[in-house]
Amino acid sequence: MAAPNTNSPALQAANKAMMTRLDLDGHDLPPSPAPSSPHSGRRRYALATELVYTETKDQYGSSSIPIYQSATFKQTSSSGGNEYDYTRSGNPTRTHLERHLAKIMNAGRVLAVGSGMGALDVITRLLRPGDEVVTGDDLYGGTNRLLTYLKNNQGVIVHHVDTTNVDSVRSVLSSKTALVLLETPTNPLIKIADIPTIARAAHEASEKSLVVVDNTMLSPMLLNPLDIGADIVYESGTKYLSGHHDIMAGVIACNDPELGDKMYFTINSTGCGLSPNDSFLLMRGVKTLAIRMEKQQANAQRIAEFLESHGFKVRYPGLKSHLQYDLHWSMARGAGAVLSFETGDVSVSERIVEAARLWAISVSFGCVNSLISMPCRMSHASIDIETRKERQMPEDLIRLCVGIEDVADLIDDLSRALVQAGAVTLTIDSFHAADAESDELPTLAQV
């Protein structure tokens, strides 16, 4: 792509608008959403408390923020200037959500948009042709697709490296690095990236480089990347934040007000802000994040131990056998609820996935119910087979996204699927469901 014409009137207007808070037509940018700050001086409670504790200026003191299902807001003067005028620019339900999330994510500013990919789109619009992006080789499929688009159409240079290896990251960092994009743990290979060390290296290589972390896998319940060196954090609100797989949403958080304004400019310009109705649902969902995540990861831990004890190669940062166990726990407060394991045979894996009943075959994660999938067939199918091989992604890999069900039921269903698929053999006449209290596991042996 040709370098942009920096003298074009449109670009000059855009730059001027950015500086003076005027829009492209020369109007004042609406003041909404006002930058939100969790640092209001009051006492900070533990996260579980902050998640449910909200403050509003609602005229009736409603305990749940109303859905302001309105595109426009009447003004009191002919020149406008009220807090809200048009929902693309700002809406009270969305602002309430954004302020609440800023508190939860330890951020100065949060912006809520229509999906996790929408969030990454807003962030990558900070890039210019010639800019370089350094990122991982086990990325979320949609992220991979968007970066490939930017590479092929927008003149952005993208380096995929193994982000578990700080030296590999260092080898591609330079003064041209504009953005370092990290996921940790990655999915489905559950690889851990050293955020503080990589952030330091990135900022040393280029002062202007932005370290961006996709925190979808852990959520603010388990990790606050802004506290350990990230400049921008984004998450898919479709996953743990909302928790019920009933909405699509994306969330962007940062501390630098100028950066927040630039991203807000894009959201207001393109109209990708989260709708009032979905803002309400995300607000409702996030209040139960702590209790859901605690249960989900306790279940995930038991299931990871169950599979490992039967000889499967399991990837989960809650297991001491994870190669980066110490690194993970130096940053995060929990292991999350996504794990993956190998069976050694693609067709056995297919049979396991299809034999499971409680475990729904579905892409995605973060929902209250448990899901099972084969990433190479589903969520990561858009990555071609050669690249998958290069990135050492086992074709037989099964991913489990653990929900809040009774863990004995989950292990029971999984055991039955393993036996039915021929992945394990029964060594006693009959087995009872693993009993969550007694720690008894069905006696199975891997074939």
Ligand X SMILES: *Cc1c(COP(=O)(O)O)cnc(C)c1O
Nearer to ligand X, 183 or 194 (CB): 183
Catalytic residue among 109, 239, 302, 399: 239
Structure tokens at 389: 């091989």
Catalytic entry in 140, 234, 240, 316? 140
CA dihedral (162, 165, 169, 172) in degrees, to 10, reads -80
CA neighbours closer than 13 Å in the CB half-sphere of residue 239: 28
Residue 191 C-beta: closest distance to ligand X, Å: 13
Report the distance separating Cα 219 and Cα 225, nearest Å. Answer: 10
Q: Least separation, in Å, of the C-beta of 187 and ligand X?
A: 6
Asked if 372 contacts 338 with a C-beta cutoff of 8 angstroms, the reply is: no
**16 in catalytic set:** no
- Reported as type and span, the H/E element at residue 214 is strand 210-214
Q: Which is nearer to ligand X, 401 or 441 (CB)?
A: 401
Catalytic residue among 137, 214, 231, 412: 214
CB of 239 to ligand X, least distance (A): 6
Which residue, 95 or 115, is less far from ligand X as judged by CB? 115
Q: Which residue is nearest to ligand X (CB)?
A: 116
Query: What are the residues facing 181 on neighbouring strands?
Result: 135, 212
Q: How far is CA 90 from the centre of its chain?
A: 23
Q: Which is nearer to ligand X, 131 or 183 (CB)?
A: 183
User: Are the C-beta atoms of residues 177 and 205 closer than 8 Å to each other?
Assistant: yes
For the CB of residue 103, give the shortest distance to ligand X in the complex, in Å. 22
Is residue 303 within 8 Å of residue 414, measured between CB atoms? yes
The smaller minimum CB distance to ligand X, of residues 124 and 187, is found at 187
| Distance, CA of 374 to CA of 377 (rounded, Å) | 5
Quick check: is 140 catalytic?
yes
Q: How far apart are CA 372 and CA 354, in angstroms?
A: 9
Q: What is the closest distance, in whole angstroms, from the C-beta atom of residue 217 to ligand X in the complex?
A: 6
The answer to whether 343 and 396 are in contact (CB under 8 A) is: yes
C-alpha 221/C-alpha 332 separation (Å) is 9
Q: Residue 114 Cβ, how far from ligand X at the closest point, in Å?
A: 8
Residues that bind ligand X (CB under 6 A): 115-117, 140, 142-143, 183, 187, 214, 216-217, 236, 238-239, 248, 250
Extract the tokens encoding 44: 């900070």
Closer Cβ to ligand X, 372 or 423, answer by number:
372
Distances (CA, A) of 188 to 84, 137, 396: 42, 11, 12
What residue ranges in 37-160 does DSSP mark as E strands? Answer: 109-113, 132-135, 157-160
For the annotated catalytic residues, the residue numbers are: 88, 140, 214, 239
